Amino acid sequence: MRYAKLFLLLVLATAFLFACAKPPMKKYNDAQKSVNEAWAVDADKCAPKEYKAAQKAFEEAQKELEEAKNHTFKGKYYDRAEAKLEEAKAKAEKAKKVAQKRREAADKVGKELDELRDEIDAIKDDAKKYDPVTFAEVEDLYEKAQKAVDDCEPGKANMLRAQIEGKLDKIKENIAIAKAEEMKKAMKQKEMAKIEKYTVVKGDCLWKISELKYMNPFMWPLIYWTNKDMIKDPDLIYPGQVFKIRKDIANNEKDKAINFAKNRGPWSLFDGK
């Protein structure tokens, strides 16, 4: 009988302890703080898997605490809640570290994209003129890369950044080729502008053509030297021949031609060479 009473007292004491158990509020607050801090560093975007695990553990702890309200003996619910709160805090801390690391990596790519933006803007006008298709691709890739940075996806952002750099190199090369071609055409046009075409008619001679074009018949050697591929003998030119008449004649060239014409002497093939 005595042992039965002692056993009963022990049961009552244990029940009293469980009935009077206190909720783990400090651990609750600590876990909640860790989850909030993880969210503050964008863990929901930068470490979604880890953050969701922390949230789930915290929510399960809350359910245990709510369930405890419906029971006289709350101890086991508080114990389960406490374990879940510890789990939630640990996972939240992990989520925070992962998020911070990924955010740092994403921000680094973001700075590189800012530098690329300056480069893109610097060639924007030429790129739209000479390689609009590739430039449109660059703009599209840039938007996607920037979104990847905002979404805390450094790997994806870095891959897109590399693609942008490759296309920018291609655009610069195409711009250089196009401008070189334009310059070549401009120089050709400039040279053409310095040359007039003259078609020989019956009765023409170099003396007469020189007087007509240079206002000085003694400058005829200029026409001869310029058209040596067609003129074998300055005294023999033929109707229908088309001569190049240079317009940009330096003074020393004029003097040389006049001197040659006045002091030619007897003519021989290859004279003047």
In the chain, what are the domains?
Answer: 20-102 (no CATH), 103-190 (no CATH), 194-262 (3.10.350.10)
Q: How far apart are CA 220 and CA 204, in angstroms?
A: 12
Residue 145 contacts residue 109 (beta carbons within 8 Å): yes
Alpha-carbon distances of 212 from 202, 215, 236, 254, 257, rounded to whole Å: 15, 6, 18, 15, 16
Tens-digit pLDDT string for the chain (273 aa): 444 433 443 333 344 344 457 999 999 999 999 999 999 999 999 999 999 999 999 999 999 999 999 999 999 999 999 999 999 999 999 999 999 999 999 999 999 999 999 999 999 999 999 999 999 999 999 999 999 999 999 999 999 999 999 999 999 999 999 999 999 998 888 877 788 899 999 999 999 999 999 999 999 999 999 999 999 999 999 999 999 999 888 899 999 999 999 887 555 444 444
Q: Which two tokens stand for residue 87?
A: 């789990």
pTM: predicted TM-score of the whole model, two decimal places: 0.62
Q: How far apart are CA 92 and CA 43, in angstroms?
A: 9
Burial of 56 (0-12, 13-18, 19+ CB in 10 A): middle
